[in-house]
């Protein structure tokens, strides 16, 4: 049997995508080996405990000075997934995990991307722009917010009746369906 692939998930908040990934990969050779957050109050940490996945709370200085990178190496992490992680990944980590850091963004990049464009901020911006469609972008992470090569985009139609909240629900549905599958295909492509 092929060796297990160790995945680390960075998240800043609720952790619904992280939990979706944990259950999706259960029993496969891809294992969510570590959950990391810079937010000690993030609900994702409770989810990690619930599913018996080790978790690490780190400070931004630990992320910047390479301590987090050393922890990832200590856990034998092969891939990193950003699931609602709101901070910029340092260049040293990007270089160590070239084409092995995957992010999900709740809009069709390059639209509605960049610093400060996350969660409800994105859905409000899409709503205020009177877009007729939105979607998700799954992409590799580089040194800039939302600028890495795109792996997959999925669209959903919007109607004049949509609100920022209904847009959020449509996006969540796309994320739950396509994020785990896209990660699986990306890892399989790299390891075939």
Which active-site residues does the annotation give?
105
Classify 78 as helix, strand or coil.
coil
Whether 172 contacts 122, CB under 8 Å: no
Residues 180, 181, 186, 187, CA torsion sign: positive
Phi, psi (5° rounding) for residue 186?
-65, -45
For the chain, the straight-line distance linking the first and the last C-alpha, in angstroms and rounded, comes to 13
Q: Which two tokens stand for residue 96?
A: 């160590």
Distance separating alpha carbons of residues 148 and 146, to the nearest angstrom: 6
Residue located via tokens 């260049």: 91
Kindly provide the b/e burial profile for residues 91-112, where b requires at least 16 CB atoms within 10 angstroms of the residue's own CB: eebbebbeebbbbbbbbbbebb
């Amino acid at each position: 049997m092929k060796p297990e692939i160790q995945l680390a998930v960075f998240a800043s908040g609720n952790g619904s995508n992280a939990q979706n990934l944990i259950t999706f990969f259960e029993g496969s050779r891809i294992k969510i080996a570590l959950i990391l957050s810079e937010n000690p109050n993030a609900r994702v940490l409770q989810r990690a405990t619930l599913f018996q996945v080790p978790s690490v709370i780190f400070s931004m200085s630990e992320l910047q000075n390479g301590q987090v990178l050393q922890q990832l190496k200590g856990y034998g992490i092969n891939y990193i997934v950003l699931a609602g992680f709101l901070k910029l990944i340092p260049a040293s980590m990007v270089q160590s995990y070239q084409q092995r850091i995957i992010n999900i963004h709740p809009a069709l990049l390059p639209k509605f991307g960049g610093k400060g464009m996350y969660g409800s901020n994105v859905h409000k911006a899409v709503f205020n722009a009177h877009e007729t469609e939105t979607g998700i972008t799954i992409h590799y992470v580089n040194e800039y917010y939302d600028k890495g090569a795109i792996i997959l985009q999925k669209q959903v139609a919007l109607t004049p009746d949509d609100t920022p909240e209904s847009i959020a629900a449509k996006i969540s549905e796309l994320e739950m369906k396509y994020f785990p599958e896209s990660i699986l295909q990306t890892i399989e492509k790299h390891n075939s």
